[in-house]
Structure 1
């Protein structure tokens, strides 16, 4: 995001417009504009649009290289979705639209790797609403209907995830549960389990961990004969986390052992749903490390977290910063306060420009450990 801020500053200076004049044109304060241009405040699409209008230049000029993820999100947000285009062309839906919507879910899911929830949620919510409209109002074959319902379920899972990342917990719960209904209607029990376990993850973090553990176990048991090895690994991870948050030492260890067993059963020939593309050994180690911290063994967590952080690439800034907060917490709870302060400082630096309430709260939580 610092490159984008530099683009805004360069465009303003090229037009001969001072910061004071830009403040008058955009109705943003001069200090805020300075922070945006210097990369010290998270940029949003609305800021870029304001600069484009004030300087009479194209949005594309300000974003620069087309692979900028925030630019991609902005372009998606202002464009019609495939479902909206369909609504102007007729009520009959075929396999072509279903395929396009399936591709869009994958693209959106991968945007979540590099864009914070506060920026991504409006886009995913728009896509979900459009897809729900097609399911409700259009006509289609039974096979196409199952595909569309699956799309709605997957979009609901993603919308719930980014809503939770943005701090919209009530909205996240609502869309998760609506997605469960769609997944069940589609006959996709694994996806329904994914939605329920995603909700359990939120409840474990911001609600009653005992309720979260029950919900996570229900997701595992309810999909027992319907999941692939990596999907089962994911559901068991969520159960381990909820158990750790509930301070259930034995339950957590049993779940972590089951995670390892399930992951070892994967094979190159077994087809997994695309929505588990991100789950690998390093993610499993991160979750194990987090559980160890919750259960009072921070020293055992440190090598697991450090090893995972080391192999992440810079564009995954939110995940790197989140895992740095857990590493800092492991140091703090082990009494290694200098290492904890150094690590949380790195996390805050990594988090610059990442528009994630979840990350902001994590940084604040760990910093509070170092001031008490």
Structure 2
């Protein structure tokens, strides 16, 4: 249930904010359940639950965070649980600081070092770093201001320059390979440890040549962004957000606009996947502005794809389709990976097929989704995370066409692929499919699949 204030002590703060939204108690409860589900938490709140909160009950665990996020989404401004009359959550100061894009890059390095060391210990940080969608607004604004004010800055290619830069880039390549093969969960702790204990202190040293320092800041930005992606892959969404925000600030110091666009693409992906597609579209558009003059068409492919994902989640078929077409055009313009920044060489038509399949899934276009997801499955035999996600999307496409046998069989194959892969993104794709099976729960094959999936996916809502 939760704790309760003194007898008769109603929650006036929560009441005022709900009144401002103009939404019903039932609508708030539904949104809270949706946001919780996106982060792997099963809640079953209803309008009676909201009444109890208004009467002074504080819901358990992360519910105040989800309530604040739901109301912030309705109003389009940041709201904290404390603003709603809920008790302050005890957090280390770094958890709050890491949501800020700071002008002083020295403060960013200190924040990263402390965040990483606290993260590794996990004792005080675990469960205390909520995802805050509205916190992505200011970093986006600060980045765009930097982009306008620093228009003459060199658009650096991230090439090894010997010494510490070459060493860091070798580490990046190794971590990327491990992440792609085994998922973010298998390598996340190593990345965070290297970033906080080796790379951040390295950048705090003096007397480094300017060119080397800029390249090292760029490499650190890439490493921090990878820590963000790996945190995303382990369902540590609040940590993912914080690492990506700090990565964007480091990237401004390095001046690499291609990488900056890719970090914004990651932030867009995170926002859309966690139920904030309007913010996801905004971040993707900021990335497009960033990357347009950077001479890297492949970088734009990913950003247009992220915009399409956001528009699809919003139900805007026209804009989603236009964004996919833009992604296809920029892919055609690229002269190949060798002519592109190292940060985007992995992007190709197979990547676009996989993202387009998700867009068509969210738009309810089963035939297109099936064709593209199947192509992605065939092309990504060595990448089990991408295979699992694309098979989940393919299963949904089959289900929408009333091909239940094929749908369940394909999803079962996706489950098998995840053995030894630590990827919450893959798990979430399968949970999305499982939720669509609810009308078919009377079928023996569905019951068998749900039983098989339970150890990995948890109990269905």
TM-score (norm 2): 0.58
Q: Deviations over 1:274-313 (max 9, x none)?
A: 2223211122112111111111111121111112211322
Paired residues for 1:1-372 under 5 Å:
95-129=162-196, 130-268=198-336, 271-313=339-381, 315-372=382-439
Unaligned runs of 5+ in 2: 1-119, 121-160, 440-461
* 2:185–2:422 CA contact under 8 A, matched in 1: yes
* Counterpart position of 2:457: none
Separation in 2 of the partners of 1:269 and 1:275?
Answer: 10
What is the rounded CA distance, in whole Å, between the counterparts of 1:165 and 1:199 in structure 2?
Answer: 13
CA contact (8 A) 2:272 2:313 kept: yes
Q: Deviations over 1:309-346 (max 9, x none)?
A: 11322x42111111100101111122222211111111
C-alpha distance in 2 between matches for 1:179 and 1:243: 25
Task: Say if 2:179 and 2:186, in contact at 8 Å, map to a contact too.
Answer: no
SS at match of 2:187: helix
Q: Is the 2:261–2:299 Cα contact (8 Å) retained in structure 1?
A: no
Asked if structure 2 preserves the Cα contact closer than 8 Å seen for 1:341 and 1:370, the reply is no
Tell me the residue number matched to 2:143.
none
Q: Deviation of residue 199 (structure 1)? A: 0.6
Distance 1:260 1:236 in 2: 9
Aligned to 1:247, the other structure's residue is in SS state coil
Aligned residue pairs, count: 279
Contact 1:117 1:355 in 2 (8 A): yes
Partner of 2:83: none
> Could you tell me how far apart the structure 2 residues matched to 1:106 and 1:269 are?
16
Alpha-carbon RMSD: 1.8
> 1:269 Cα shift?
8.6
Give the whole-Å Cα distance in 2 for the aligned partners of 1:296 and 1:350: 26
Q: Normalized against structure 1, the TM-score is what?
A: 0.72
Structure 1 gap segments, 5+ residues each: 1-76, 78-93
Task: Give per-residue Cα distances to partners, 1:215-255, cap 9 Å, x unaligned.
Answer: 11111123321241111112111111111112121111111
